[in-house]
Amino acid sequence: MVHFVLRELAHFFREFERTLRDPEVEGLLVLVVGLLGVGTVFFHFVEGWGWLDSVYFGVVSLTTVGYGDLTPHTSLGKIGAMVYLLTGIGLFLAFVNKVSGDTLRHHLALKEKNASNKSKPLLESSNQSKPH
């Protein structure tokens, strides 16, 4: 059972890696990482947070976790957070949707192909045994 799970996970991650090479996925990843970088710099300077706190706030916000331990206190920071969240959550969800959908579709197509290849010898042998 463990071998089966590990084999399936390894296969899934190979498909995930293949998906990341898709130009559309690469573009979304660049946009998400770029927005995270812009947000980090923005919150570092506007709110006076350290670099780690700024990137932490960006990741926690874009993933919609929102612990609430860091919140913008300046008016500019609050406006920036609204723009950042309205833009970033959509981009992040588009990226996750594209990656998960493509990975799953390809994984299922390979499983279906493997299943049909395994059933061919059975069909061929059953066809040979039938009188014409």
Does the pLDDT value for residue 108 go beyond 90? no
d(CA 25, CA 91): 11
128 part of a folded domain: no
User: Is 80 inside any structural domain?
Assistant: yes
pLDDT of residue 59: 95
On whether the CB atoms of residues 90 and 48 are closer than 8 A, the answer is no
74 pLDDT higher than 80:
yes
Domain count, the chain: 1
- Residues 41 and 55: beta-carbon distance below 8 Å: no
Determine the Cα–Cα distance for residues 43 and 8; give it in Å rounded to an integer.
41
pLDDT tens across 28-39, in order?
Answer: 999 999 999 999
Residue 115 CA to chain centroid, in angstroms?
27
Model pLDDT, residue 119: 65
Q: Domain range for residue 71?
A: 22-121
Is 4 part of any domain? no
Q: What is the pLDDT of residue 121?
A: 58
- 95 domain residue, yes or no: yes
Question: How high is the mean pLDDT of the chain?
Answer: 86
Whether 131 shows a pLDDT value over 60: the answer reads no
Question: Is 110 among the domain residues?
Answer: yes
Does residue 132 sit within a domain? Answer: no
**Is residue 127 situated within a structural domain?**
no
Q: Higher pLDDT residue, 42 or 130?
A: 42
* pLDDT surpassing 90 at residue 117: no
* CATH code of 61's domain: 1.10.287.70
Q: Give the three-state DSSP class for 61.
A: helix
The answer to whether position 131 is within a domain reads no
Q: What is the pLDDT of residue 79?
A: 97
Query: 9-13, 42-46, 88-92, 115-119: which range is least confident on average?
Result: 115-119
Q: What is the DSSP letter of 49?
A: -
